[in-house]
């Protein structure tokens, strides 16, 4: 039997030099008076004796590339004895028979660029010496309360003894202004990974569109998506949403258990993750092959709003302009359809559009589907910059029991979402391979049916 073929060639893997360059960039921000402490993710139990598939913490992986759970990284810019110290699980031949090989301290140094490596049980004893003379400690407080307590206890002990020894850290700082700002701007290697994830995810959406028909189950369409991802060494970057009919009015619908009706629209929000980088695509298409009159009217408004928003994704433009552009088009559309009544500016000022458009127009995308990075700087909407990647995803949703509009509109939920790379020129739509005009969507479905 021949193995299923990849549709696309994968990008070059990220090597040790990539992670080292990231640490050098972080050192420029943190400075030699700072330290960064990052924990790896832990394995999460699924049910008795079974764990969910392990996925590394994005911050930890970004800085180290180390793939195992439970580890702790301490990054010390300018330290003469070595800047990256990793605390890892010890080698354990018996556990490795059951759970797989471990890198151990030797592997952490040899394969992942650690200047110094210890087993996890040495962390509390080693930490005071590592933090001695460091003014600031950058951590993500609240994510791991048990580790937070150990760090704060260490700092407190150091302060109590600082009169007789090296200076203790003065402040615990978050990662938003350091590591997360670095993650917001994607390198060429990261863009290559995201472009690959986007192309494969687009092919997965096309497969689902080709498979749609009245009577199919939502989970069967999800299976079409996931099969394409798996053939490319990918997995879903988040819980796939396959929502038929009024289910599309539930923004984070993940049951995926209903049957698709003849006159239903099907909203699929799904994206694959490739080696830590995810895509995020939404399309809404007709199970019967053609949009009904009311569905078409709403769809065209959402598509126009998305295009207006995409046009704002340019270096130097405030991020808030994207949402404002989409909101204006959607609100005018709601007035034209008779869902709202009044002046568009006044309706937006009063928030009336949120009856049927209740979410933002986009979010940062990268290693996390809702990626890190601030949207406002010094109280103002930050400007887009080359290397940022954002989703653009306006939508309109009329709950099936909403009596404020005519019955013919009820139960319609439509969202259109693409991933857009900010460049020094035109917006680069990474997910543009998936049809989204009504004519193109209908033609694709028709071609699949002969």
**252 is a catalytic site residue:** yes
pLDDT at 167: 85
CA distance 292 to 263: 8
Identify the DSSP state of 12: P
Whole-number Cα distances in Å, 81 to 39, 75, 85, 185: 21, 12, 10, 30
Active-site residue, selected from the candidate residues 91, 109, 363, 410? 363
Active-site residue, selected from the candidate residues 116, 224, 269, 418? 269
**415 is a catalytic site residue:** yes
Active-site residue, selected from the candidate residues 48, 163, 164, 252? 252
**393 is a catalytic site residue:** yes
**180 is a catalytic site residue:** no
| Global confidence as pTM | 0.96
Helix, strand counts (H, E) of the chain: 13, 21
Q: Which of 375, 414, 175 is nearest to 285 (CA)?
A: 414
**442 is a catalytic site residue:** no
User: Angle 366-369-371 (CA atoms, 0-180°, nearest 5)?
Assistant: 55
Active-site residue, selected from the candidate residues 393, 418, 419, 442? 393
Active-site residue, selected from the candidate residues 415, 418, 419, 442? 415
**418 is a catalytic site residue:** no
**68 is a catalytic site residue:** no
Active-site residue, selected from the candidate residues 24, 42, 46, 370? 370
pLDDT tens digit at each of 450 positions of the chain: 465 677 788 999 999 999 999 999 999 999 999 999 999 999 999 999 899 999 999 999 999 999 999 999 999 999 999 999 999 999 999 999 999 999 999 999 999 999 999 999 999 999 999 999 999 999 998 889 999 999 999 999 999 887 766 789 999 999 999 999 999 999 999 999 999 999 999 999 999 999 999 999 999 999 999 999 999 999 999 999 999 999 999 999 999 999 999 999 999 999 999 999 999 999 999 999 999 999 999 999 999 999 999 999 999 999 999 999 999 999 999 999 999 999 999 999 999 999 999 999 999 999 999 999 999 999 999 999 999 999 999 999 999 999 999 999 999 999 999 999 999 999 999 999 999 999 999 999 999 987
pLDDT at 70: 97
**146 is a catalytic site residue:** no
**269 is a catalytic site residue:** yes
CA distance 337 to 359: 20
**51 is a catalytic site residue:** no
**226 is a catalytic site residue:** no
Active-site residue, selected from the candidate residues 68, 264, 273, 280? 280
């Amino acid at each position: 039997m021949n193995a299923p073929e990849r549709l696309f060639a994968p990008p070059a893997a990220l090597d040790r030099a990539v992670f080292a360059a990231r640490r050098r960039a972080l050192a420029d921000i943190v400075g030699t008076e700072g330290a960064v402490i990052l924990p790896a993710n832990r394995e999460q139990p699924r049910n008795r004796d079974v764990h969910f598939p392990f996925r590394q913490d994005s911050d930890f992986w970004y800085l180290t590339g180390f793939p195992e759970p439970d580890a702790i990284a301490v990054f010390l810019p300018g330290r003469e004895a070595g800047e990256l110290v990793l605390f890892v699980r010890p080698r354990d031949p018996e556990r490795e028979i059951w759970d797989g090989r471990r890198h151990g301290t030797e592997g952490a140094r040899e394969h992942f660029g650690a200047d110094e490596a210890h087993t996890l049980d040495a962390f509390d004893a080693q930490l005071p010496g590592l933090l001695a003379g460091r003014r600031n400690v950058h951590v993500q407080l609240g994510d791991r309360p048990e580790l937070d307590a150990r760090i704060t206890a260490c700092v407190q002990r150091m302060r109590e003894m600082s009169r007789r020894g090296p200076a203790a850290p003065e402040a615990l700082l978050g990662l938003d202004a350091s590591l997360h700002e670095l993650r917001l701007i994607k390198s060429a290697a990261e863009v290559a990974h995201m472009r690959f994830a986007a192309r494969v995810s687009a092919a997965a959406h096309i497969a689902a569109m080709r498979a749609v028909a009245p009577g199919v189950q939502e989970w069967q369409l999800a299976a079409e998506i996931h099969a394409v991802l798996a053939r490319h060494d990918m997995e879903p970057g988040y819980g796939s949403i396959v929502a038929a009919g009024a289910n599309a009015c539930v923004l984070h619908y993940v049951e995926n258990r209903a049957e698709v009706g003849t006159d239903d629209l099907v909203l699929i929000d799904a994206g694959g993750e490739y080696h830590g980088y995810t895509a995020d695509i939404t399309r809404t298409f007709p199970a019967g092959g053609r949009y009904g009159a009311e569905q078409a009217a709403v769809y065209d408004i959402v598509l126009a709003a998305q295009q207006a928003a995409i046009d704002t994704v340019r270096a130097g433009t405030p991020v808030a302009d994207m949402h404002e552009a989409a909101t204006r088009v959607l609100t005018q559309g709601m007035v034209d359809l008779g869902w709202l009544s009044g002046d568009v500016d006044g309706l937006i000022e009063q928030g009336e559009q949120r009856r049927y458009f209740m979410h933002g127009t986009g979010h940062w995308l990268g290693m996390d589907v809702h990626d890190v990075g601030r949207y406002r700087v010094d109280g103002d909407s930050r400007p887009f910059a080359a290397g940022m990647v954002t989703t653009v995803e306006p939508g309109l949703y009329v709950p099936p029991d909403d009596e404020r509009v005519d019955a013919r509109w009820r139960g319609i939920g439509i969202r259109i979402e693409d991933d857009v790379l900010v460049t020094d020129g035109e917006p680069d739509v990474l997910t543009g391979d998936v049809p989204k005009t009504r004519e193109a969507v209908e033609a694709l479905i028709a071609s699949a049916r002969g």
